[in-house]
């Protein structure tokens, strides 16, 4: 236990020392106007560097991430069946699935899943 504490402290101190040395030795000028501009060639930009993206695509991506997290929450439910009370496991699983299905129905009824 003491060796683990010693190793983790030593690792932390070495990384801290390396970060401090790199900060001291780095030759950066944060106030350089040309480097902060979207085009690093030295000319002032004529147009905005930001291009618009589809808000629908962003919404679908967020919904995908939400359901991806929900799947990771569903996976341990099957493995905990042998270690828990059957009634409690069944009721918690059913409530969780009901909440997920209700959210999916709500997104579907609001038109969030329609691409066109």
Band the pLDDT of 29: cuts 50, 70, 90. low
Task: Note the pLDDT tens digit of each residue in 6-21.
Answer: 999 999 999 999 999 9
Domain membership of residue 68 as a residue range? 2-109
Give pLDDT, residue 14. 95
Angle at 74 between CA 68 and CA 109, to 5 degrees: 60
Q: Is the pLDDT of residue 51 over 90?
A: no
Q: Is the pLDDT of residue 1 over 80?
A: no
114 inside domain: no
CA within 13 Å, CB half, 48: 3
Q: What pTM was estimated for this model as a whole?
A: 0.49
Provide the domain count of the chain: 1
Asked if 70 and 96 touch (Cβ cutoff 8 Å), the reply is: no
Q: What is the CATH number of the domain that holds 102?
A: 1.20.58
């Amino acid at each position: 236990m003491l060796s683990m504490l010693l190793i983790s402290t030593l690792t932390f101190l070495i990384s801290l020392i390396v970060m401090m040395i790199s900060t001291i030795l780095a030759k950066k000028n944060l106030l350089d106007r040309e480097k902060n501009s979207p085009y690093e060639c030295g000319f002032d930009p004529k147009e905005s560097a930001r291009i618009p993206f589809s808000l629908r695509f962003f919404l679908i991506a967020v919904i995908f991430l939400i359901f991806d997290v929900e799947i990771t929450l569903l996976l341990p439910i099957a493995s905990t069946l042998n270690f828990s009370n059957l009634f409690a496991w069944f009721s918690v699983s059913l409530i969780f699935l009901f909440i997920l299905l209700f959210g999916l129905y709500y997104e579907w009824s609001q038109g969030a899943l329609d691409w066109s």
